[in-house]
Chain A
Amino acid sequence: MIRVFRSEWRKLRRPTLFAGTLGIVFGLSVLITSLLFILLDGEGGNGPRGRIITRDTLALPSGLYLGFTNFAGLLGTIALSVFAAQTALEYTNGTLRNLLVRQPKRLVLLAGKHLSMCSFALLTVLVSAIGSIGISLALAGTKNVNTDAWFTSESFELFYSNLGNVYLSAIAYGTVGMAVGIILRSPISSIAISLAWILILEGILSFTVDGLDKWLPGQLMSLIAESSNSDISYTYALVGTAIYLTIFGGIATTLFLKRDVSN
């Protein structure tokens, strides 16, 4: 397993993927968090989907992490894309056969790949947290946001729980991406279909059908990062996501173990 993990990291650390992904994550987390502060007094809202997040809300102990948790959905889709591409490319490049000759225990190979990508996702979450928290601290003063509560023990505890939840959400998205990558064996199809479902179809469905969002995987995975919303509890989101991951993961693992490698 460790050998697979280290072998996978030789691929993950290539500059275009490593620096490119972390750079995008850092830039976007800074941008999204900046908008939270820059649009603070705007009429169009400063949160996701036009939500208005007030100065008082930002001044709460959780205010320091609002930009970070708002970014979690996008971070999830980035994780999904990386996991899906890294998995499906093994099929399109034909490199899976080389890997299986050197590591014939398919379950070990799959677990090692997943573990390495989860560690990569952890890096993206940390970079995003640094970018978001850093810019929040920099902009709070310019927008007269009271930051006293940000430096309390309650706020520090929230840092760990938010970090953990955003990470859980990211690896849930990533695991779905990896599963779709194995099922479809094409990076473009895997990413396009997954993102079209999560970003477009789920959005339309949750707006048009009342109460449906509590059944949609993308909505549930996002909610883990946000901890909860008015309709769905954190535990519900966690259990719902676990059920979806078991189904997707089960199908993908079975296919990976049983399917002939003929490309």
Chain B
Amino acid sequence: MRAVISAENLTKKYGDLVAVDHVTFDIPAGAITGFVGPNGAGKTTTIRMLLGLVKPSAGSARILEHPISEPETYLPFVGAMIEGPAFYPALSGRENLRVLARLGDFPYERVEELLELVGLADRATSKFKTYSLGMKQRLGIAAALLPQPKVLILDEPVNGLDPAGIHEVRNLLRSLADSGISIFVSSHILSELEVIADHLVVVDHGKVLFQGATKDLLAAHKPRLAVRGSNASDLKSVQELAFAAGFPGEIIGDQLVIMAPESFAGELNKAAFDKGIVLTLLQVTRPTLEESFFEITGGEK
């Protein structure tokens, strides 16, 4: 696996506070990598260090094989949106992009292309301060795409977007990744990352708790069987049957949730039938990213 971003023991301290604590991870090329963690976990500080905005207290990182101590060597190939879109309120969306296009020596035609791409062409002349949060977010993504980047670093890109907007961004990121752009995206909307991220880096309290393929994280946690009987009183008997087979369960509302593999479903169904219990629901459920995340972070706590 070729890494476009590699961090090794990257650390940032503010006095006694350790915002990022010896973080080590690799971001694979051509994939979408989610950067997951609660507020204050150190995500934004890590991203700022990668972009040369914040100097690490210790450790190192490389982007496109260049050290982050020399941001001028790799930033021409990197697009970024950090901690929400920041633009000049009195300038139009188009002018804001032109300020950055001029600075980065990108043609103005690229600005027009991107305004079209993010659906802001018809509001290009409106002042940024009149934009909705979703429009601001889309302008931020357009600004990040200005350099036709090899690596795209986005901090909370779907913040404030409505479901349709989230769907659009998801499709956009997928198509960018399919075109070979490596995307490193932080979000606190875990369900969103579960859908789009091929890889994940999970951080909490400045430390990396997991890094790897999203499917590996989800597979690492046991699947569950959700069971419902024709009579609510039957659930207790089914719980005992499962426990006897070595799989503990918990009655939640009108359902019994058993921590057991899919293969146990048939065995349980037969055992219940033999005891005269009719199961009206027997469903295998996989843990969501959110559940896996809380399991990892909760485990650490």
A contact residues vs B (CB 8 Å cutoff): 3-4, 6-7, 10-11, 14, 16, 89, 93-95, 97-105, 258, 260-262
Contact = CB atoms under 8 A, between A and B. Distances in A.
B244 interface: no
A14 B100 contact: no
Contacts of B88: 11, 89, 93, 95
A101 B102 contact: no
Given A10-B95, A260-B54, A94 B102 contact: no
B84 to A, nearest CB: 8
Interface string B58-91: 0000000000000110010010101110111111
Contacts of A4: 103
A16 B127 CA distance: 13
Interface in B82-129: 82-84, 86-91, 95, 98-100, 102-105
B82 A7 contact: no
B53 A11 contact: no
Given A98-B143, A101-B80, A10 B75 contact: no
Contact of A260 (B55, B95, B104, B146): B55
A102 B54 contact: no
Nearest to A5: B102
Contacts of B170: none
B51 interface: yes
A93 B103 CA distance: 18
Given A6-B102, A261-B54, A104 B75 contact: yes
Contacts, number: 80
A100 B104 contact: no
A7 B102 CA distance: 5
Contact of A102 (B45, B55, B104): B104
Interface residues of B, number: 32
Nearest to B81: A98
8 contacts: A10-B95, A11-B99, A14-B90, A93-B86, A94-B83, A97-B51, A102-B103, A261-B54
Which 7 residue pairs of A and B lie closest in terms of their CB atoms, listed nearest first?
Answer: A94-B86, A104-B71, A7-B103, A7-B102, A261-B53, A102-B104, A260-B54
A247 B60 CA distance: 34
A11 B91 contact: yes
Given A101-B78, A101-B80, A3 B103 contact: yes
Contacts of A258: 55
| Most interface-central of A4, A101, A260 (chain B CB within 10 A) | A101
B38 interface: no
A94 B80 CA distance: 14
Interface string B268-279: 000000000000
B143 A10 contact: no
B134 interface: no
B223 interface: no
A4 B51 CA distance: 19
A261 B103 contact: no
B224 to A, nearest CB: 42
B299 to A, nearest CB: 30
Contacts of B82: 97, 101
B52 interface: yes
A99 B48 CA distance: 13
Given A261-B48, A261-B53, A10 B83 contact: no
A95 B143 CA distance: 12
